[in-house]
Structures are given as C-alpha cells and as structure tokens.
Structure 1
Amino acid sequence: MTAIISNGTGPDAGHHLIGQPRVQRVPSPKLSLFIRKGFSDPGECAAIIDRIDARRRPSTIADSNGDPLYRTSETCDLDRADPVVAALEERIAAFLGIDPRFGEPLQGQRYAVGQEFKQHTDYFEPKGTDFDEHCAISGQRTWTAMLYLNEPEAGGATRFLTVGKLVQPETGKLLCWNNQRADGTPNPATLHHGMKVRAGTKYVVTKWFRERPWPV
C-alpha cells in the first residue's frame, strides 16, 4: 500500500487514490478528480444526516460577492468528539492517504428545494479580503473530499464547469479532488456548482485538507 503522504501536495499527490479499489479517475489533464461509489453505507449516512439536522445553520462564504442567493444551503459543524463523526473522518483521511492532522473538522450541508451553491472553488482566493485570516495558520486548502449522504428526488448534482463533468448524488458516493496544481498554486479548473435541488432534500459532508496542520 502507498505510504501516507503528509498533506496531499507535491508531485505524488493523488497517487494513493489511484491505487485504491473501485476508484474512478475522471479523465482530464486539467484537474485530479476521483469518484468512489459505496464509500459509506446507508446506516452511517443516516446517522450523519441526523446530526446535521440537529445542528444546522445558514451557510456562509469567505468573501462576499454581494449576491445573497450565491449559497443558500444550511451547514453543520460536526463534533469531532462524536465517535461516528471521528470514524468517518479517519476513514476519509486514510482513503486519501493524508495525515489526519492536516484536516479541517468535518462539515455537513443540507440543501432543500431550490437551494444551491453557485459556481465556486474551495480554495481561498489569494487576493481575497479574508485570505490572510483563513490561511495564516494552516495555509491553503489542498484536497476536498465530499460525500453524498442521500439521493434527492430530483436535482442537486455537482457540475465541474471547466471539464464538463456532472456528478449525480448517490448515497455513499465520495468525490475527491485536488484544489491545487502540481506546482502548489490554486487550480481554477476545480470550479464547480452545487446545483439546485428540484425535489426532496440533499445532504452531503465535506472534508477539507490544508498545507499545514489544523490547530487542535
């Protein structure tokens, strides 16, 4: 098995994922994007959904762009002391081959009918007003792991605009992508859109990793 890499950066980033069973790599030279169906079972997904519903709040963005409808979902900061949350975090980090110390706390999102997160990237804009505040300690975001917890009745796909890839929600499906180029600079080809839910409700959890350890 490929050894754990420190924070997911550098020329070997993503090699651990390539060696994992049942992993599909989206064929594109523009970004490193991986899909793993069945990463989480329905029971685990349902348990995380219950936790999101219990503590959800309106979602926010780092740099406001003046559009109040830019991100309309709800967010839940999941408790790392919760054994269910901790077990999922540990599995995601091991799957990516990244030391857990570089991971942000797991976060859940809930999308009701009509809610979305318009096209965006997960890294912090180097010229953004909040870049220093968000990156001073742990640095830039490296990898994103996003797990679909359920399947809404309609809508809610994730669309990667630059490469024309549309990923449909499916219970237990995990998406992983590198937010950086090989040289460590932010990769704008990771631009993606959490599309509107047209019927039902969509739940996901997101795990972001950083260049430096996350404060305990």
Structure 2
Amino acid sequence: MSLAADATAVAARLACRPGAQRVPSRDLELFIVRRFLDADTCAALCDLIDRRRRPSEIADDRGDPKFRTSETCDLDSSDPLVGAIDRQLCAALGIDPAFGEPIQGQRYALGQEFKAHTDTFNPGGADFYRFCADQGQRTWTAMLYLNQPEDGGATRFKVIGKSVQPETGKLLAWNNLLPDGLPNEATLHQGMKVRKGTKYIITKWFRQFPSDKSS
C-alpha cells in the first residue's frame, strides 16, 4: 500500500471518530479529538512524567540553545497504564504498533517553549541518515494534552495560521508527509511559551516502516 493510501485510511478513520474535527486546510491534514482521555488518567501520566523527566534534546537546535527548553520523559509501554494508552493511540489512528515509536512525555514549566519546527527529518541531511535508516521518516504525529495551564502553552501551526489551546484529554493528530512521501512544510508548529502554570503532553510518532524489534 502506498504512503498516500495509508494517509487516506488514517484520515478517514480519524474523521469518523465521534467528536473529531478536521481543521479546515488544503495544506495539512490536522485533526482534533476532545475528551480522548479522562482527567484521572491524564493526571496519572503527569505523575509519571514528573518522576522521570530530564532536559529535552533536539537533533538540530539551529544554533539556538533556547530553541527547546522543555523537559522530556520516555514512557515505558511495559507499564500497564502506558501500554493501555499506547494501544488506544494506535487504534485511534488505525496504525499497527510495529510502526510506532515509544510514547514520550513532555513538561513545560513557566516560560518554557519549543520554537517552530517540524517532526520530520531533512532528507539528505546527517540527521536523516541517523534517525531514519531503520524505520524511515515520521508519518503521523499523535499529541495529547494532559492538562490545561493557567495561561499560554498553545500549539501554533504557523503556515496554516491555526493555534490550538491546551485542554485536558484533547488529542491532536496530523500527517507529516505529502503524498509523494516528502516532508510537508505546512506541519511547521510551535509549542508556545507557558505564561502561567505548567503544561504536560504526551507524543507518539509513527514511521514508514515497522521496527525489527517487533518481530
């Protein structure tokens, strides 16, 4: 099955989900699903992130040491809670778990942000060969807000002029690639600064090819 057909199937599945909304845009397949997770489950995931968080890293900070100032936590799918959420996300998009990366948690404290970036890697660059040699490029992103900070922390999709406000249990899902498999620059997005409070999210990325660790 082609990448375009895969994307069509995922988009159709998300569009049929009760409460799902596709953001109007010809340039980007972006879906919002409210109340994907309940508040208690979100709070439990926040606790896990707090226990294991570390400074976030980035493949290319473009010479700006403050490009990404959040904290990150790798969540282990062998944990019953994490494993259940992992299965929910895969089922929501209709993607086999073998194509997924482990879930990652992020914590944004007061003033922290992630400046405008895409989730894909630049074809032909050193980072592409380093991070895409085995499973290929990132296809879909599933990002889930675990809480709502008192102020700030929106996700801004700059090219299409859309800002999504954090809301406990809200899922965002978008297609990172064009039909020909190249990165879609319209996915450029920014984790805006938290102005008051703390923001927690989890992110799961999917790839073009299955992991050989799944066999």
- TM-score norm. by structure 2 comes to 0.95
Whole-Å separation in 2 of the counterparts to 1:203 and 1:11? 30
Choose from 171, 180, 183 the match for 1:183: 180
1:199 aligns with 2:196: yes
Unaligned 5+ runs, structure 1: none
Q: Name whichever of 174-183 and 12-21 sits farther off.
A: 12-21
Aligned to 2:206: 209
| Offset at residue 184 of structure 1 (A) | 1.5
TM-score, length basis structure 1: 0.94
- Number of the residue aligned with 1:148: 145
**Candidates 39, 42, 47, aligned match of 1:45:** 42
Whether 1:120 and 2:117 are equivalent positions in the alignment is yes
Moved over 6 A (4+): 5-8
Displacement, 1:18? 1.3
CA distance in 2, matches of 1:8, 1:128: 27
> For residue 25 of structure 2, what is the amino acid of its counterpart?
S
Aligned mates of 2:5, 2:71 — CA distance in 1: 28
Q: CA deviation at 1:133?
A: 0.9
Percent identity between the aligned chains? 62
Partners of 2:7 and 2:45 lie apart in 1 by 32
- Provide Cα deviations, 1:155-178, integer angstroms capped at 9, x if missing partner: 000000011101000000000000
For 1:139, the equivalent position in structure 2 comes to: 136
The aligned residue for residue 32 of structure 2 is 35
2:154 alignment counterpart: 157
What is the root-mean-square deviation in Å for CA atoms of aligned residues?
1.6
The answer on whether the counterparts of 1:58 and 1:73 sit within 8 Å (CA) in structure 2 is yes
Q: Take 1:215 and 1:52, find their aligned partners in 2: how far apart are those partners?
A: 27
Cα deviation code 1:14-53 (max 9, x no counterpart)? 1111111110000101010000000000011011001000
Q: Is the 8 A contact 1:7 1:209 kept in 2?
A: no
Please say if residues 146 and 167 of structure 2, whose CA atoms lie closer than 8 Å, have aligned partners that are also in contact. yes
Contact in 2 for aligned 1:147/1:175 (Cα 8 Å): yes
- The answer (yes or no) to whether the contact 2:3–2:181 under 8 Å persists in 1 is no
Equivalent pairs, count:
212
Distance 2:161 2:147 in 1: 23
Q: How does 1:83-94 map to 2 (within 5 A)?
A: 83-94=80-91
Distance (whole Å) between structure 1 residues aligned to residue 171 and residue 206 of structure 2 = 15
Task: Identify which of 74, 98, 118 aligns with 1:77.
Answer: 74
Name the counterpart of 1:18: 15
Moved more, 124-133 or 160-169: 124-133
- In the alignment, the residues of structure 1 paired with residue 192 and residue 211 of structure 2 have an alpha-carbon distance, to the nearest angstrom, of 30
* Structure with the bigger percentage of helix: 2
